[in-house]
Amino acid sequence: MTQARFKIKRGDQVKVMVGRHKGRTGVVKSVLLDEGKVVVEGVNTVVRFCRPSQAAPEGHVKKTLPIHVSNVAVIDPATGNFGKVGYRVRKDGVRERFFKKTGVAVERHFK
């Protein structure tokens, strides 16, 4: 599944809507366009067991696996709930994303 873009971008605060981690929130760390998935910080974390080495002396490594983009939604800071995202062009010619229900621009949370 290859798309030109998703409405979810890196740095967005999202909520998991479906699946084992339903209801958890986090910040999008990366977007995988070719796979149609996003990696959300602190969500879908698994333990992979491996042979002990200097990098992993205890023999296991924690990894954050990607989630399908359709299973997450961007959180609207005005309402505290998820909302649909659209695009618009401001008067100064800059294209921005906004929440369709409240009209508030989407803010990113970079760390």
Say which CATH number the domain at 47 has: 2.30.30.30
Tell me the pTM: 0.81
Residue 61 lies inside a defined structural domain of this protein: yes
Residue 34 lies inside a defined structural domain of this protein: yes
Residue 89 lies inside a defined structural domain of this protein: no
- Cβ atoms within 10 Å of 29's Cβ, excluding its own: 16
Q: Which two tokens stand for residue 48?
A: 């992979």
Residue 32 lies inside a defined structural domain of this protein: yes
Total domains in the chain come to 1
Closest CA to 31 of 47, 8, 14: 8
Give the separation between CA 15 and CA 18, rounded to whole angstroms: 9
The domain in which residue 75 lies consists of 13-83
Residue 2 lies inside a defined structural domain of this protein: no
Give the separation between CA 98 and CA 96, rounded to whole angstroms: 7
Q: Which two tokens stand for residue 88?
A: 């618009």
Per-residue pLDDT reduced to its tens digit, 42-100: 999 999 998 898 888 888 889 999 999 999 999 988 888 898 999 999 999 999 899 99
